[in-house]
Amino acid sequence: MLEVLGRPNSINVRKVLWTCAELGLEIRHVPWGAGDLSLASAEFRALNPMGLVPVLRDPAANGGRGLVLRESNTICRYLTARERRHDLLPADAAARAEVEQWMDWMATELNNAWRYAFMGLVRRSPAHQDAAAVAASAAEWNRQMGFLEQALQGTGAYATPHGFTLADIVLGLATHRWVMTPIEHAELPAVRAYYEHLSQRPAFLAHGRNGIP
């Protein structure tokens, strides 16, 4: 059976859990990084020397020799390709690139924008309590979310014109994080409507809009 390793309050783990649910995959979920399941342990480092979650184990891959994979976006793309679900990740190169540019943007520009404010306000990290830096991070976070607002105003529904895709899984989780973090939020009506629209999906309610920021 497929195994997804990683604590469920990690946004990167939740990308994989939500993707598995959309694909209808039966998985074993082991919450490494929570409780006694230390990411510093030799057992976990043998799977990911970088000590980060998520990790996917697919024992049936590579002709039965198995596959151990890290990097949340790569795992989501792998599972989608494995299941031949071109609705979630188009086969057409141009359409696929339109999906992937949002996945890359979320993991780089947007993630960098929210890090300080999120760590300070939600995780209450002692190293992220400088008020000016929190305010600057929140302002940049709102500015970046404005790009999603523009896109959603154009499509009227999802991030790309290609229906619900992997882009919406990563952006749905990012939107949830933005909504749940106690910053002064920019007025972004299309983003708010997107959040409600995604909430019609049971997998988003289970793995995204589930009270965990």
Ligand X SMILES: N[C@@H](CCC(=O)N[C@@H](CS)C(=O)NCC(=O)O)C(=O)O
Nearest approach in angstroms of CB 9 to ligand X is 8
Any idea what DSSP says for residue 27? E
Nearer to ligand X, 110 or 152 (CB): 110
Nearer to ligand X, 16 or 152 (CB): 16
Nearer to ligand X, 23 or 157 (CB): 23
**Rounded CA gap, 99 and 106, in Å?**
11
Instruction: Kindly tell me the burial class for residue 107, based on how many C-beta atoms sit within 10 Å of its own C-beta (0-12, 13-18, 19 or more).
Output: middle
Cβ atoms 104, 171 nearer than 8 A: no
Nearest approach in angstroms of CB 196 to ligand X is 25
Nearest approach in angstroms of CB 39 to ligand X is 5
Nearer to ligand X, 52 or 68 (CB): 52
Binding site for ligand X (CB under 6 A): 10-12, 33, 39, 52-54, 71-73, 107
